[in-house]
């Protein structure tokens, strides 16, 4: 049996090989805070949402597949929770056996006893799963859940339970062990085969035969005889014990996979409800094929921001279709970095099949998201900040590929404007030429002015607004870059009005 709630044709795994600069992505987009909010202290949910967001999917069909499954989860929350509880019970049942504790044994009888205990518990849980299927299965509409419940109906019918319970009853060997063997060299027993008991009168029934028969009774005080008999018994049941253990593993693996996949959707439900509780919009995004250069959002906001503040949160609009480069300029502390994170989070959430923190969001699938954010001074660095920035960009440059997304936040701000603008221009040009979408937050006027003058047709410009009194409404609108980021406003808020001796014209920076 397969759960197949994440992919139509393959299993979902939560282990992956960390890629280069993955830690930077997690840090820059504050992903751990998001995963913790989704998990609500459930480590299985945390690992599932983490894997889903970092791995993403390859096609729009895969995103739509998960969206349909999630829509079922939204309609049938109680049933999904019950499924998750059943899967958890099955995993806990396995942990209670000595095999679940990691204790191994080559002895057939202990393995048989432990596997019997596991399967007995599994059968009870499978029966409850079957009842849940009959009561609620037809209420689910997605291909993922329809296939899941159809498989359960087909495989967990009453004949299956009769058969498995019959095997379990036989393997308890209440009347002893019935086996056959042949004589080998030096009259050693070979070819041992465990036999099923007779249906007419149990294990001890023997048909009348004309061939002579022999029997051996072990005396109560014959320790050697009992040891030999125990060794023979263990040898006979070992094959059955191994087969039973494999059956228990198969069922246990099914419940583990089901738990992993349901955990992702429960995480989506948790963050969805948390954002709605704050009165914030949540939408089902519209994925577009990779490379289509669609980026259209309304009321987009940073999904992590509500996790850190109780203040009101405003969303932003952007429509940058067919433009591989987006440049954000404008007032310092005007919401540019927050907007950049909202774009990155929205892509990761959409590509994982999750709802998105926006009124509406449509974008091209990206095969990878990369970040290059300015860093605070680190006393442990053996090189300067500018060298460190170049090293991080070099790592990204060696790994980033076509149809990826690069988010830059004040990159190369640690050197002078002429050098920074020159380097950034070359990097941006190389990235966009390679089919990579770039979203760049910058205060470098030479950089933004160059693209506004020479590549306006392929560049979308957004500017953080500033009110006439210097306040920031944290909104961005489409506008050409200005030669100021109004850093004087920050000075005024920190130190008061600047003295005339400073000699800086009002409004410049």
Do 263 and 363 lie in a common domain? no
Do 165 and 311 lie in a common domain? no
Do 103 and 133 lie in a common domain? yes
Do 311 and 401 lie in a common domain? yes
Q: Is residue 11 part of a domain?
A: no
Q: Is residue 507 part of a domain?
A: no
* Burial (Cβ within 10 Å: 0-12, 13-18, ≥19) of residue 221: exposed
How many distinct structural domains can be found in the chain? Answer: 2
Give pLDDT, residue 213. 62
Do 164 and 299 lie in a common domain? no
Do 357 and 251 lie in a common domain? no
Do 251 and 293 lie in a common domain? no
Do 273 and 379 lie in a common domain? no
Do 255 and 323 lie in a common domain? no
Do 296 and 385 lie in a common domain? yes
Give pLDDT, residue 128. 96
Give pLDDT, residue 471. 73
Q: Is the separation of the CB atoms in 222 and 229 below 8 Å?
A: no
Give pLDDT, residue 164. 80
Give pLDDT, residue 212. 57
* Burial (Cβ within 10 Å: 0-12, 13-18, ≥19) of residue 234: middle
Do 412 and 440 lie in a common domain? yes
Give pLDDT, residue 206. 45
Q: Which residue stretches of the chain have pLDDT < 70? A: 97-107, 171-179, 191-192, 194, 196-216, 225-236, 377-383, 468-470, 472, 484-509
DSSP β-ladder status, 286-288 and 360-364: parallel
Tokens of 51: 């894997």
Give pLDDT, residue 186. 75
- Give the three-state DSSP class for 202: strand
Task: Supply the range of the domain harboring residue 255.
Answer: 27-172+247-277
Do 264 and 325 lie in a common domain? no
CATH of the domain at 364: 3.40.50.300
Give the integer Cα–Cα distance in Å for 41 and 22.
Answer: 23
Q: Is residue 272 part of a domain?
A: yes
Q: Is residue 363 part of a domain?
A: yes
Give pLDDT, residue 504. 43
Give pLDDT, residue 496. 62
């Amino acid at each position: 049996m397969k759960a197949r709630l994440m992919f139509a044709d393959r299993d979902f795994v939560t282990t992956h090989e960390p890629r280069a600069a993955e830690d930077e992505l997690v840090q820059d987009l504050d992903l751990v805070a998001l995963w913790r909010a989704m998990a609500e202290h459930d480590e299985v949910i945390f690992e599932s949402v983490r894997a889903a967001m970092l791995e993403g999917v390859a096609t729009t069909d895969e995103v739509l597949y998960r969206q349909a499954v999630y829509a079922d989860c939204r309609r049938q929350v109680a049933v999904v929770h019950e499924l998750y509880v059943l899967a958890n019970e099955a995993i806990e049942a396995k942990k209670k056996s000595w095999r679940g504790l990691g204790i191994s044994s080559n002895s057939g009888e202990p393995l048989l006893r432990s596997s019997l205990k596991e399967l007995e518990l599994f059968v009870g849980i499978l029966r409850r799963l079957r009842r849940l299927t009959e009561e609620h299965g037809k209420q689910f509409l997605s291909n993922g859940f329809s296939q899941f419940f159809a498989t359960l109906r087909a495989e967990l019918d009453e004949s299956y339970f009769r058969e498995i319970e019959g095997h379990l009853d036989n393997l308890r060997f209440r009347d002893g062990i019935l086996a056959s063997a042949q004589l080998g060299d030096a009259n050693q027993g070979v070819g041992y085969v465990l036999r099923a008991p007779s249906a007419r009168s149990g294990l001890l029934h023997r048909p009348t035969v004309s061939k002579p028969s022999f029997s051996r009774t072990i005396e109560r005080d014959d320790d050697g005889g009992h040891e030999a008999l125990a060794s023979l018994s263990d040898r006979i049941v070992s094959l059955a014990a191994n087969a039973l253990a494999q059956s228990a593993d198969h069922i246990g693996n099914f419940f583990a996979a089901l738990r992993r996949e349901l955990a992702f959707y429960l995480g989506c439900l948790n963050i969805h409800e948390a954002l709605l509780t704050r009165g914030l919009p949540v939408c089902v995004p519209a994925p577009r094929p990779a490379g289509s250069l669609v980026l259209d959002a309304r009321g987009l906001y940073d999904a992590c921001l509500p996790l850190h503040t109780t203040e009101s949160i405003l969303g932003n609009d952007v429509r940058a279709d067919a433009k591989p480069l987006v440049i954000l300029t404008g007032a310092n502390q005007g919401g540019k970095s927050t907007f950049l994170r909202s774009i990155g989070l929205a892509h990761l959430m959409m590509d994982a099949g999750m709802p998105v923190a926006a009124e509406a969001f449509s974008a091209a699938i990206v095969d990878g998201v990369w970040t290059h954010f300015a860093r605070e001074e680190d006393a442990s660095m053996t090189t300067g900040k500018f060298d460190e920035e170049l090293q991080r960009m070099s790592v990204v440059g060696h790994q980033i590929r076509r149809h990826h997304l690069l988010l830059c936040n004040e990159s190369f701000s640690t050197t002078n404007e002429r050098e920074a603008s020159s380097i950034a221009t070359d990097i941006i040009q190389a990235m966009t030429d390679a089919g990579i979408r770039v979203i760049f937050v910058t205060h470098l006027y030479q950089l933004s002015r160059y693209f506004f003058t020479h590549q306006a047709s392929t560049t979308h410009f957004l500017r953080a607004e500033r009110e006439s009194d210097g306040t920031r409404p944290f909104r961005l609108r489409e506008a050409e870059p200005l030669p100021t980021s109004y850093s004087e406003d920050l000075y005024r808020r920190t130190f008061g009005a600047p003295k005339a001796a400073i000699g800086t014209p009002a409004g410049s920076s």
